[in-house]
């Protein structure tokens, strides 16, 4: 396939900026910031885009580490969006086939959202430069989405109208295959805390004076366990008790349980949430306590559009699979062995586009976007096949040449697809047509309660505990796009 002049120019731009992509990706790896606390990460990404000439909105929808960057005028509007958060206790040295934390107990990247961020920023820079050079009309909107591991930001962005003027959107995510996917790929979810308020008392001398909030949590748990038998087989519910009192001789005046309620459909999620609220109200009634429900996030299932998948896949094939060295393959096989997976090494071929993909049980907060505009999903090959994410093995490749080469290929495919969409409004019209057929008569209504504010302090305490210890490992180099 011969490349159009703007695309060839964008690919050259990405090759020339290989170093910037690598330093950006590795910098974020060493920042290792958990959801809502991605301060260094967001500052670096927004500075780079602003220097490049993008109009910047920081603190989007009340997310201190969220942003929207815009460039261009007229024509179609294409949105890019991705996440950049790490996970607790996932600190892992890169390039080693053994468990060795950078800082014992600290958060870290063990999936690859650091590479997601570098791919999106690099693709945005290259696309913008190609549009400028060739006088292409169109508007690029680049969204930074904090707290994906807590499924937070993008439903708020949709609710607040930031996708109202968008024609199509693309989400890029790390994987071990280089490919586009479409169909219903993830399930929907409500993440909510059920907080019970009672009254404390001495547990031995005057327990009759107390109203026990922990009792309510326990009874809600019993009620949910009984409900499991009557749930639909597609539903999943899981919880942790986040507050259960301080010591046994004080009846807890406050207790809380945090539930994730999932189903492949938004209607199923809504049904689960309504039932959970009834059970919680019942528990409050039984214990003379008061119930408070705090929704942390509420996301629709993710749906990938077929037309955009075809556009992305054509670009994946034009870019081609990275060539891996023997050393890279050896690291991949060693990690697979440590993870108990077959030592098949890194993939050497691009899988054909097939679909629709089967719907799997994780969720991603980009789901809401995929029901308001056609959304494409690009996987780029920057991690090793069959490693369990959020495990040290999946952290070990993330600042190596595997991540760098896979990220470079991903940035090209993403930039190439966006340039195709700007060059041919017919593609966007077709994406809208297939989108209408895909969603059928489902009407999008946010699962997020109206007026809901983002939990800006989430994970603040955890990150404060670790940031200074992690800072000594930050990279000294700063990415610069040439
Ligand atoms: Zn992810």
Quickly list DSSP for 262-328: EESSHHHHHHHHHHHHHHHHHHHHHHT-EEEEEEEEEEPPPEE-HHHHHHHHHHHHHH-PPPPPHHH
Helix, strand, or coil (residue 81): strand
Helices (H) and strands (E) in the chain, counts: 14, 13
Same domain, 177 and 153: yes
Domain count for the chain = 2
Range of the domain at 159: 5-185+301-471
The CATH number linked to 256 is 3.30.70.360
Q: How far apart are the first and last CA of the chain?
A: 27
Distance 113 CA to ligand 1 centre (A): 6
Which among 346, 230, 209 has a CA at the least distance from the CA of 288?
Answer: 209
**What is the bridge-based pairing of β-strands 375-381 and 254-263?**
unpaired
Q: Please report, in tens digits, the pLDDT of each residue of the chain (482 residues total).
A: 589 999 999 999 999 999 999 999 999 999 999 999 999 999 999 999 999 999 999 999 999 999 999 999 999 999 999 999 999 999 999 999 999 999 999 999 999 999 999 999 999 999 999 999 999 999 999 999 999 999 999 999 999 999 999 999 999 999 999 999 999 989 999 999 999 999 999 999 999 999 999 999 999 999 999 999 999 999 999 999 999 999 999 999 999 999 999 999 999 999 999 999 999 999 999 999 999 999 988 999 999 999 999 999 999 999 999 999 999 999 999 999 999 999 999 999 999 998 888 888 788 999 999 999 999 999 999 999 999 999 999 999 999 999 999 999 999 999 999 999 999 999 999 999 999 999 999 999 999 988 899 999 999 999 999 999 999 999 999 999 99
Distance 440 CA to ligand 1 centre (A): 28
**What is the bridge-based pairing of β-strands 179-181 and 254-263?**
unpaired
Tokens representing residue 435 in the block: 């989108």
- Asked if 389 contacts 362 with a C-beta cutoff of 8 angstroms, the reply is no
Distance 190 CA to ligand 1 centre (A): 18
Distance 288 CA to ligand 1 centre (A): 41
Distance 56 CA to ligand 1 centre (A): 24
Tokens representing residue 168 in the block: 């199509």
Report how far residue 141's alpha carbon sits from residue 445's, in angstroms, rounded to the nearest whole number. 23
Distance 354 CA to ligand 1 centre (A): 21
Which contacts qualify for 328-333: CB closer than 8 Å, 24 or more apart?
A: 328/400, 328/401, 328/402, 328/405, 331/95, 331/97, 331/384, 331/396, 331/397, 331/400, 331/402, 332/384, 332/385, 332/397, 332/402
pTM of the full predicted structure? 0.94
Last residue of a domain, one of 265, 298, 331: 298
Tokens representing residue 388 in the block: 């369990």
Distance 129 CA to ligand 1 centre (A): 28
Same domain, 222 and 333: no
- Cβ neighbours of residue 249 closer than 8 Å, sequence gap 6 or more: 202, 203, 204
Distance 364 CA to ligand 1 centre (A): 7
In a domain, 110, yes or no: yes
The CATH number linked to 327 is 3.40.630.10
Same domain, 259 and 137: no
Report how far residue 48's alpha carbon sits from residue 81's, in angstroms, rounded to the nearest whole number. 16
- Asked if 103 contacts 469 with a C-beta cutoff of 8 angstroms, the reply is yes
Last residue of a domain, one of 264, 298, 332: 298
Q: How far is CA 80 from the centre of its chain?
A: 13
Same domain, 70 and 160: yes
């Amino acid at each position: 396939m011969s490349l159009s002049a703007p695309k060839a120019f964008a690919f050259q731009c990405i090759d020339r900026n290989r170093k910037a992509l690598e330093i950006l990706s590795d910098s974020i790896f060493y920042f290792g910031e958990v959801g809502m606390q991605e301060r260094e990460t967001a500052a670096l990404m927004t500075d780079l885009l602003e220097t490049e000439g993008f109009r910047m909105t920081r603190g989007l929808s009340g997310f201190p580490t969220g942003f929207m960057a815009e460039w261009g005028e007229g024509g179609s509007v294409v949105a890019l969006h991705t996440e950049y958060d790490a996970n607790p206790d996932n600190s892992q040295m890169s390039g080693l086939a053994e468990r060795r934390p950078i800082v014992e107990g600290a958060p870290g990247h063990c999936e690859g959202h650091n590479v997601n961020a570098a791919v999106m920023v690099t693709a945005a820079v290259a696309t913008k430069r190609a549009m400028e050079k060739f006088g292409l009309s169109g508007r690029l909107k680049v969204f930074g989405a904090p707290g994906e591991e807590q499924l937070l930001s993008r439903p708020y962005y949709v609710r607040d109208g930031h996708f109202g003027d968008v024609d199509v959107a693309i989400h890029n995510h790390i994987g071990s295959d280089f490919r586009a996917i479409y169909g219903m790929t993830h399930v929907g979810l409500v993440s909510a805390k059920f907080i019970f308020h009672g009254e404390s008392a001495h547990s031995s001398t005057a327990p009759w004076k107390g109203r026990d909030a922990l009792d309510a949590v326990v009874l809600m748990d019993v009620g949910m366990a009984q409900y499991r038998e009557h749930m639909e087989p597609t539903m999943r519910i899981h919880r942790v008790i986040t507050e259960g009192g301080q010591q046994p001789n004080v009846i807890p005046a406050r207790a809380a349980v945090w539930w994730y309620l999932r189903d492949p459909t938004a209607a199923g999620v809504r049904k689960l949430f309504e039932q959970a609220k009834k059970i919680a109200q019942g528990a409050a009634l039984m214990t003379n306590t008061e119930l408070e429900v705090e929704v942390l996030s509420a996301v629709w299932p993710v749906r990938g559009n077929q037309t955009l998948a075809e556009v992305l896949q054509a670009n994946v094939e034009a870019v081609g699979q990275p060539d891996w060295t023997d050393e890279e393959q050896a690291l991949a096989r060693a990690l697979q062995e440590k993870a108990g997976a077959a030592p098949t090494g890194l993939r050497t071929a691009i899988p054909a586009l097939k679909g629709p993909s089967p719907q799997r049980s994780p969720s991603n907060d980009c789901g809401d976007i995929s029901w308001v505009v056609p959304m494409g999903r690009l996987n780029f090959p920057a991690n090793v096949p069959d490693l369990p994410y959020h495990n040290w093995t999946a952290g070990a490749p993330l600042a190596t040449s595997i991540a760098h080469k896979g990220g470079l290929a991903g940035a090209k495919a993403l930039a190439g697809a966006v340039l195709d969409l700007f060059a041919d409004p017919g593609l966007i019209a077709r994406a809208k047509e297939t989108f209408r057929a895909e969603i059928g008569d489902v009407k999008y209504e946010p699962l997020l309660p109206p007026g809901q504010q983002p939990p800006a302090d989430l994970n603040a305490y955890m990150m404060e505990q670790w940031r200074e210890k992690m800072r000594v490992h930050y990279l000294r180099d700063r990415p610069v796009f040439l």
